[in-house]
Amino acid sequence: MPPLSTQPYKGTRDFFPADMRFREAMFAVMHRVVRKYGFDEIDAPIVEPIDIYLAKTSEEIVGQQIYAFVDRGERRVAIRPEMTPTVARMVAARFHETPKPIRWYSIPNVWRYEQPGKGRLREHWQLNCDIFGAASERLADLEILNLAVDLLKGYGATHTHFRVYVSHRGILNGVLGDELKLPQEKWPAVARIMDKKAKLKNDAYTAMLDAEGVTPAQQKELDLFLSEKIDYLKQKPQIEGASYIIEMLESVADLGLADFIEYDPSVVRGFDYYTGLVFEVFDAHPENRRSLFGGGRYNNLVGAFGKETLNAVGFGMGDVTLEVFLRTHKLLGDQPRNVDLYIALMDDALGGHALALANKLRARGLSVEVSLGAGKLGKQFQEAEKKGIARVVIVGENEAASGVYAVKTLATGEQVALKAEEI
Ligand code: HAM
């Protein structure tokens, strides 16, 4: 039998210590920023009854990407492809006892059977921030957009690095249905073509619309809608969501976020549960013009779990796309190890003394790695250096007897003699 592969399952990652440090640094900013907005953290099982995804999520996810199986008790279950149905389930479960508005966040790993590529894997971690039951949906939407911007600012990003594109579910439906008078069954296909427009040559784009039976007159209207952007909405206030977006952008400007947030009619978002605001955050780097994360308002999902319903808005931000963004813009790089001291041992017989010294130092809040076997000092200094530890405490016979230790700073070679409580 050939040896077993050391590779993780396709589209997943092992997290070695350096990867884990980077991930923790990314997550630390998430926790810090999100908590500043009063969000409470939650978590849930990775496996859910498949039903919670069948009702309302995305056709692509349920049809092609879900990891589903029948368990030993004949239950049809799925590994979560996203967190939103789970959060809605949890809100419904504690509906009455939880003070509103509910602000919950989580950083779950989620699974989708996708073709792995840059920024796209089968397992990723996804910060989810959601607000349920706000008296003013408009204010909740604004706060979520504000938080989305603040998160990236938390990594040092500015408006030159990213842009938030907003739209409203009603707008596209209004344009395709009321303005173009396209039959409803054509909407998803036309929306997909619009979504791809930026990547298509003009001829190809037109040919695809022709193939869907979109007439030249309808295509002209569609072009106006896409190119005139906010002016188109101002001319057609009867479209559902048009005045909402116009007013939202005014509030955004009042908050000082006009440089970060703009209206983009081509924002679609592929989930069935969105009912109002939808938004997508894009990297502004010319070589990494990809979606970083997205979200929107979904007012009917909690209701699927019981009598009571609750309005909701939120977003999901994946760690894979975020890492590409942070590294491309050099906002976050490799993280150093965080061990303060290395105790070098000159004689195995002093091992007990070294361990006790390490404990004393740890009790004072330092992190300390003890050499687990005596050796040449030079070699131990090298070991400490390779491990990224800046300072070494030397434990030899004299030190053990006097309780005064040589503490060496490896980078400079500087050495001082200190008692344990002075280190
Ligand atoms: P989503 O757009 O499917 O939305 O995913 C949100 C983010 O998760 C994406 O923008 C991306 O950063 C990351 N992501 C998704 N799929 C992958 C993948 N295969 N590989 C790497 N990263 C990925 C949702 O999942 C909604 N439930 C978000 C939401 C929360 N809406 C309201 N609340």
Using N-to-C axis directions, what is the helix angle for 137-154 and 242-254, rounded to 10°?
50
Class of domain 341-422: alpha beta
β pairing state of 102-106 and 40-41: parallel
Cβ of 84 closer than 6 Å to ligand 1, yes or no, is yes
Chain Cα centroid distance, residue 130: 13
Could you tell me the distance, in angstroms and rounded to a whole number, from the CA of residue 36 to the centre of ligand 1?
Answer: 23
Report pLDDT for 365: 96
Backbone angles phi, psi at 144, to 5 degrees: -65, -40
CA separation for the pair 22, 15 (Å, rounded):
10
Per-residue tokens: 307: 């009598």
Report pLDDT for 126: 98
Is 273's pLDDT higher than 90? no
User: Is residue 339 very low, low, confident or very high in pLDDT (cuts 50, 70, 90)?
Assistant: very high
Both ends of the chain: CA-CA distance in Å?
54
Mean pLDDT throughout 144-150?
98
Instruction: Give residue-wise pLDDT tens across range 305-335.
Output: 988 899 999 999 999 999 999 999 999 999 9
Report pLDDT for 85: 95
Could you tell me the distance, in angstroms and rounded to a whole number, from the CA of residue 201 to the centre of ligand 1?
Answer: 27
CA separation for the pair 90, 84 (Å, rounded):
10
Residue whose C-alpha is closest to residue 169's, from 288, 35, 294: 294
Cβ of 128 closer than 6 Å to ligand 1, yes or no, is yes
Is 198's pLDDT higher than 90? no
CA separation for the pair 131, 84 (Å, rounded):
11
Residue whose C-alpha is closest to residue 279's, from 251, 246, 310, 314: 314
Amino acid at 232: Y
Question: Which overall architecture, per CATH, does domain 26-161+284-328 show?
Answer: 2-Layer Sandwich (3.30)
| Cβ atoms 218, 180 nearer than 8 A | yes
Could you tell me the distance, in angstroms and rounded to a whole number, from the CA of residue 126 to the centre of ligand 1?
Answer: 7
- Which residues, listed in sequence order, are joined to residue 112 by a DSSP beta bridge? none
* Residue intervals in the chain for CATH 3.40.50.800: 341-422
User: Is residue 197 very low, low, confident or very high in pLDDT (cuts 50, 70, 90)?
Assistant: confident
Per-residue tokens: 176: 């395709």
Instruction: Give residue-wise pLDDT tens across range 93-120.
Output: 999 999 999 999 999 999 999 999 989 9
Could you tell me the distance, in angstroms and rounded to a whole number, from the CA of residue 3 to the centre of ligand 1?
Answer: 36
Per-residue tokens: 128: 């989810």
Is 194's pLDDT higher than 90? no
Give the whole-number percent of the chain exceeding pLDDT 90.
89
Report pLDDT for 328: 93
SS3 category, 178: helix
User: Is residue 286 very low, low, confident or very high in pLDDT (cuts 50, 70, 90)?
Assistant: confident
Cβ of 82 closer than 6 Å to ligand 1, yes or no, is yes
| Cβ atoms 124, 143 nearer than 8 A | no
| pTM, 2 dp | 0.94
Instruction: Give residue-wise pLDDT tens across range 158-187.
Output: 999 999 999 999 999 999 999 999 999 998
Residue position matching structure tokens 């090298």: 382
Burial environment of residue 176 by CB neighbours within 10 A (0 to 12, 13 to 18, 19 or more): buried
Residue whose C-alpha is closest to residue 251's, from 239, 263, 240: 263
Torsion-angle region of 273 (φ positive above 0: left; ψ -120 to 50: alpha; else: beta): alpha
Instruction: Give residue-wise pLDDT tens across range 389-415.
Output: 999 999 999 999 999 999 999 999 999
Instruction: Give residue-wise pLDDT tens across range 211-267.
Output: 999 999 999 999 999 999 999 999 999 999 999 999 999 999 999 999 999 999 989
Residue whose C-alpha is closest to residue 409's, from 389, 395, 383: 389
Residue whose C-alpha is closest to residue 423's, from 402, 408, 413: 408
Report pLDDT for 59: 72
Residue of minimum CA distance from atom 10 in ligand 1: 293
**E strands present in 216-367:** 261-263, 277-283, 291-297, 312-318, 341-345
* Residue intervals in the chain for CATH 3.30.930.10: 26-161+284-328
Report pLDDT for 420: 93
β pairing state of 404-409 and 415-419: antiparallel
State the CB neighbour count (10 A cutoff) for residue 296: 25
Report pLDDT for 281: 97
Atom of ligand 1 nearest to the CA of 130: 33
Report pLDDT for 63: 80
Mean pLDDT throughout 292-305?
94
Is 289's pLDDT higher than 80? no
| Cβ atoms 53, 365 nearer than 8 A | no
Residue whose C-alpha is closest to residue 173's, from 164, 186, 161: 186
Contacts 24+ apart (CB under 8 A), 215-221: 218/180, 218/181, 218/182, 221/175, 221/179, 221/180
| Cβ atoms 91, 98 nearer than 8 A | yes
Is 57's pLDDT higher than 80? no
User: Is residue 421 very low, low, confident or very high in pLDDT (cuts 50, 70, 90)?
Assistant: very high
What is the overall mean pLDDT for the chain?
Answer: 94
Instruction: Give residue-wise pLDDT tens across range 66-82.
Output: 999 999 999 999 999 99
Is 56's pLDDT higher than 80? no
